[in-house]
Amino acid sequence: MEGLINTYRSYLERTDTTFVRYLHDDISWNARLIGLHGARGVGKTTLILQHIKLHDNPNESLFVMADDFYFADHSLIDLARTFHQQGGKTLYIDEVHKYPDWSRHIKNIYDQFPNLKVVYTGSNLLALERGGGDLSRRALRYTLPGLSFREYLALKLNLTLPRYSLNEVISGKVDFPMPDYRPLQWFSRYLQEGYYPFFLEGDFRFRLDGIIKQTVEYDIPLLAQMETASVQKLRKLLYMLAQNVPFKPNLSKLERDLDIRRSSLPHYFNYLEKANLINTLWTKAEGMKLLEKIDKIYLNNPNIAYLLAEQSPNIGTVRETIFLAWLQVNHFITSSKVSDFEVDGLTFEIGGKGKGGSQVENIPDAYIVKDDLEYAYRNIIPLWHFGFLY
What is the 3-class SS of the chain, one letter each residue? CHHHHHHHHHHHHCCCCCCCCHHHHHCCCCCCEEEEEECCCCCHHHHHHHHHHHHCCHHHEEEEECCCHHHHCCCHHHHHHHHHHCCCCEEEEECHHHCCCHHHHHHHHHHHCCCCEEEEEECCHHHHHHHCHHHCCCCEEEEECCCCHHHHHHHHHCCCCCCCCHHHHHCCCCCCCCCCCCHHHHHHHHHHHCCCHHHHHCCHHHHHHHHHHHHHHHHHHHHHCCCHHHHHHHHHHHHHHHHHCCECCCHHHHHHHHCCCCCCHHHHHHHHHHCCCEEEEEEECCCCCCEEEEEEEEECCHHHHHHHCCCCCCHHHHHHHHHHHHHCCCCCEEECCCCCEEECCEEEEEECCCCCCHHHCCCCCEEEEECCCCCCECCEEEHHHHHHCC
- What is the model's pLDDT at position 225? 83
As a whole number, mean pLDDT of residues 269-291 equals 86
Look up the pTM and report it.
Answer: 0.93
Position with higher pLDDT, 249 vs 198: 198
Which domains does the chain show, CATH number per domain?
2-144 (3.40.50.300), 149-388 (no CATH)
CA distances (Å), origin 333, targets 4, 80, 163, 366: 43, 41, 20, 14
Alpha-carbon distance of 387 to 53, in angstroms, equals 28
- pLDDT reported for residue 105: 93
CA distance 374 to 215: 37
The pLDDT assigned to 358 comes to 87
Exposure b/e, 203-216, CB count within 10 A at least 16 = b: ebeebbeebbeebb
Residue 177: pLDDT over 90: yes
Bridge partners of 284, per DSSP, are: 291
Cis status, amide bond into 179, omega within 30 of 0: no
What does the pLDDT look like over 61-114, one tens digit per residue?
999 999 999 999 999 999 999 999 999 999 999 999 889 888 899 999 999 999
332-373: per-residue pLDDT in tens? 999 999 999 999 999 999 999 999 888 888 899 999 999 999
Distances (CA, A) of 282 to 137, 229, 320: 28, 29, 14
User: pLDDT (tens digit, 9 = 90+) per residue, 50-61?
Assistant: 999 999 999 999
In the structure, what pLDDT confidence band is assigned to residue 129 with cuts at 50, 70 and 90?
Answer: low
More confident site: 288 or 169 = 169
pLDDT at position 318 over 60 = yes
CB 211 within 8 A of CB 40: yes
- What pLDDT band is residue 291 in, cutting at 50, 70 and 90? low
* pLDDT score of 140 more than 90: yes
Q: How far is the C-alpha of 67 from the C-alpha of 157, rounded, in Å? A: 36
Contacts of 224 (CB under 8 A, 6+ apart): 230, 267, 271
Choice between 286 and 328, residue whose per-residue pLDDT is larger: 328
Beta-carbon contacts of residue 372 (< 8 Å; ≥ 6 apart): 184, 352, 353
> What is the C-alpha to C-alpha distance for residues 67 and 61, in angstroms, rounded to an integer?
19
